[in-house]
Chains A and B, each alone.
Chain A
Amino acid sequence: MNTLDQVYALLQLVPVQRAGIGLLLAALGLPIVGVVIVGLDIMPVRFAMMHVALFGIAVGQLAGLDTVLCALVACGLAGAGVSPLARTTEALSGAMGLLMSIAIAAALLMLALSGVNANGAFALLWGSILAVRPADLAVIGALAVVVPGLFVWRRRDLALLLHDREMALCSGVPVGRLTTLLLVLVAVAVAGGIRLTGALLVDALTLLPALTARRLGHSLGSITAWAVIVGAAVNTVGFLISLAWDLPPGPILVLVAGAVALATHLIPERRTTSWRASASRSATSSH
């Protein structure tokens, strides 16, 4: 059986089809979440949410509830909870560190109280794209609608908020509410992404396309569009490579996304017209 035949045969399997749909849906929402993470400068959010998700899983195991649902709810509440600290980037980064420490301590306490083997809880953090369930697809699908929808609906407000919080405030942007909404979306998206690729590899779906797009675009609109395009391309290529050569999808997705991000950062920055030349031109035209 040649490589193409192998890919075709694998694509007939339901878990593989589900994984492919999951990755395509993820490409619509998660890279835009990455744009928010880069814009708010909250790169440690993945680690914070990983620990909060573990806390949610521990609560779920203790209470006998759906652990993934508990993890999503815990992440959503944690995102909303840290938003009052988002007045400065430094405060938000510090809050992420605090959240991470408190969440892991609370999770370990919960696991000890419930008498559950901690390894069982940790195992849920190592998600796999081929083990995606319909419920996970529903979360990623909802994000694929809500996140791009928010960016279309509040594009002006988001551009101002991600640029400069104070200028956004003075321009009538509801900064507090919008920041809370973004942090909840980021938290839920990271938790949802963890189910797809595992906690350590969730960057492939969020941050890496956004970092590539940050290099290629020069406004929120163009960066967002590039993030989705890069996310879709990376997910498709990475998934097909993993099917063709029977390699684990998570690491391949990260390596492909990382290679693309690295390549765009190695390309010399586009030559822009000297501001001095532009200034003299516009000054001339204005007189």
Chain B
Amino acid sequence: MRDVVCRHGGLEAVSGVGLDAAPGERIALTGTNGSGKTTMLRAVVGLHRQVTGEITVGGRGCRTAAEWAWRRKACAWIPQRPAAGRFPLLARELLASGGDFGGALAAAERLGVGGLLERPLDSLSGGQLQRMHLARAVGCVTAGAGVVLADEPTAALDFAGQEEAAAVLTGLPVTLLVVTHDRAMAGRCDRVLEMAAGRLREVS
């Protein structure tokens, strides 16, 4: 990222952020609520649109629809508060959307939600939903994604679940950028960065 600025209307949520992540590096992004972490992550996959500056993944920027399609295939995204959705979607359909159902299913089994495939997502608890999204992200990786962008992926999990999810995420052979307030997750990462008022600084 070079000089990335993200706005919400007139409000500057991310201010001139620069970040280099080496392939395979695991980076934890911490910071207070409202400091711009989620906005920055969403900008990488084009979910936040008011962005200036340069964001490249694997040396590739995004100007055309084809480039955005490549970016979204290359970057698995785990949302901050997974939506239960306006319309029912089966857990099986969510896992399949990552591109490799088999890989996602194996992860779902490991995370203890493999028996819930035929359940609509809106009937799952917050923790189960978060595990499903984590399993989907694993499916994205086995389908070829080289980057995982995870936004507080352990926030709804119990302590054992947090440990398990952190182990799954940091064990993936990818570049990981994870927004987290979970010390266990941050402890497993190679670098910890902190965001405050839209600016980024290295903590460790």
Residues of A bordering B, CB below 8 Å = 38-41, 89, 156, 159-160, 162-164, 166-167, 169-172, 217-220, 223, 272, 275-276, 278-279, 281-283, 285-287
**A interface SS class:** helix
- B72/A172 in contact, CB under 8 A: yes
- A220/B89 in contact, CB under 8 A: yes
> How long is the Cα–Cα vector from A156 to B115 in the complex, in angstroms?
21
- A279/B93 in contact, CB under 8 A: no
Residue in A38, A285, A287 whose CB lies within 8 Å of B87: A38
* Given known A-B contacts A166-B47, A172-B73, A219 and B93 have beta carbons under 8 A apart: yes
Q: Provide the residues of chain B in CB contact with A278, threshold 8 Å.
A: 115-116, 119
Binds A, one of B121-129, B169-177, B187-195: B121-129
* Given known A-B contacts A162-B86, A275-B123, A275-B124, A170 and B45 have beta carbons under 8 A apart: yes
Q: Provide the residues of chain B in CB contact with A41, threshold 8 Å.
A: 86
- A219/B85 in contact, CB under 8 A: no
Q: Provide the residues of chain B in CB contact with A89, threshold 8 Å.
A: 86
With A163-B83, A163-B121, A285-B114 known, 9 other A-B pairs at CB within 8 A are A160-B89, A163-B89, A166-B47, A167-B97, A170-B47, A171-B98, A220-B87, A223-B87, A275-B119
Q: Provide the residues of chain B in CB contact with A287, threshold 8 Å.
A: 112
- A286/B45 in contact, CB under 8 A: no
- A164/B125 in contact, CB under 8 A: no
Residue of A nearest to B75 (CB): A170
- A166/B79 in contact, CB under 8 A: yes
Residue in A159, A170, A223, A276 whose CB lies within 8 Å of B77: A170
Distance in Å: Cβ of A65 to nearest Cβ of chain B: 36
Q: Provide the residues of chain B in CB contact with A39, threshold 8 Å.
A: 86-87
> How long is the Cα–Cα vector from A141 to B150 in the complex, in angstroms?
47
Query: With an 8 A cutoff between CB atoms, is B62 at the interface?
Result: no
- B115/A169 in contact, CB under 8 A: no
Could you jot down 25 A-B contacts, CB within 8 Å? A40-B86, A41-B86, A163-B83, A163-B85, A164-B89, A166-B47, A166-B79, A167-B83, A167-B94, A169-B46, A169-B47, A171-B72, A171-B98, A172-B73, A172-B99, A218-B88, A220-B87, A275-B119, A278-B115, A279-B125, A281-B115, A282-B112, A282-B113, A286-B111, A287-B112
Number of interface residues of B (CB under 8 A): 36
Distance in Å: Cβ of A85 to nearest Cβ of chain B: 14
Query: With an 8 A cutoff between CB atoms, is B69 at the interface?
Result: yes
Q: Which of A167, A170, A278, A279 neighbours the largest number of chain B CB atoms within 10 Å of its CB?
A: A170
- A163/B88 in contact, CB under 8 A: yes
> How long is the Cα–Cα vector from A287 to B46 in the complex, in angstroms?
38
- B45/A162 in contact, CB under 8 A: no
Residue of A nearest to B149 (CB): A170
Q: Provide the residues of chain B in CB contact with A169, threshold 8 Å.
A: 45-47, 72
Segment 107-142 of B: residues with Cβ below 8 Å from A: 109-116, 119-121, 123-125, 128
Distance in Å: Cβ of B101 to nearest Cβ of chain A: 11
- B72/A167 in contact, CB under 8 A: no
Query: With an 8 A cutoff between CB atoms, is B57 at the interface?
Result: no
Query: With an 8 A cutoff between CB atoms, is B51 at the interface?
Result: no
Q: Provide the residues of chain A in CB contact with B99, threshold 8 Å.
A: 171-172
> How long is the Cα–Cα vector from A170 to B145 in the complex, in angstroms?
12
Q: Provide the residues of chain B in CB contact with A40, threshold 8 Å.
A: 86
Residue of B nearest to A223 (CB): B88
